[in-house]
């Protein structure tokens, strides 16, 4: 009696693992098409400078300056982070990976997001 239940459990779990593995592969295939629009929406680019940064990164990838493996590694790392800070993490990790690989991005002049909710405290009072 015990062995029948155990065999039934194994069969059901094996079928379930197969279904979950198919879903995992389908989400990985969705990552293969990173566009500027996808970066802007998933990394929550707020300002015009942030959106331009996303466009410049994709343009560098299309011009074969930025390898896909660096772009996707930085993107996957940023997607694990909190929504409000994803773009900052993406920019930081991407610049670190590019520096290690000796790659200079054309948008290097566009520095990290300068959004600071307490910037009014930093400016002199007038």
Local structure of residue 38 (DSSP, 8 states): H
Whether 73 and 36 have beta carbons less than 8 Å apart is answered as: no
Predicted structure pTM score: 0.62
- In terms of Cβ atoms closer than 10 Å to its own Cβ (0-12, 13-18, 19+), residue 38 is middle
Q: In angstroms, how far is the first alpha carbon of the chain from the final one?
A: 84
Which tens digit of pLDDT belongs to each residue from 18-72?
555 444 443 444 445 899 999 999 999 999 999 999 999 999 999 999 999 999 9
Q: What's the pLDDT score for residue 104?
A: 87
The chain-wide mean pLDDT, for the chain, equals 77
Could you report the per-residue pLDDT of 79-101, keeping only the tens digit for each? Answer: 999 988 999 999 999 999 999 99
Q: Which of 104, 91, 113 has its CA nearest to residue 60?
A: 104
């Amino acid at each position: 009696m015990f062995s029948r239940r155990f065999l039934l459990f194994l069969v059901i779990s094996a079928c379930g693992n197969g279904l979950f593995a198919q879903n995992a592969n389908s989400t990985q295939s969705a990552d293969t098409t990173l566009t500027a629009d996808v970066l802007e929406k998933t990394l929550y680019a707020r300002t015009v400078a942030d959106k331009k940064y996303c466009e410049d990164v994709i343009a560098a990838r299309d011009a074969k300056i930025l390898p896909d493996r660096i772009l996707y590694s930085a993107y996957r790392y940023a997607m694990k982070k909190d929504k409000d800070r994803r773009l900052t993490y993406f920019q930081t990790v991407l610049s670190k990976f590019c520096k290690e690989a000796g790659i200079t991005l054309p948008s290097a002049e566009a520095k990290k997001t300068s959004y600071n909710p307490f910037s009014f405290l930093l400016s002199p009072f007038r």
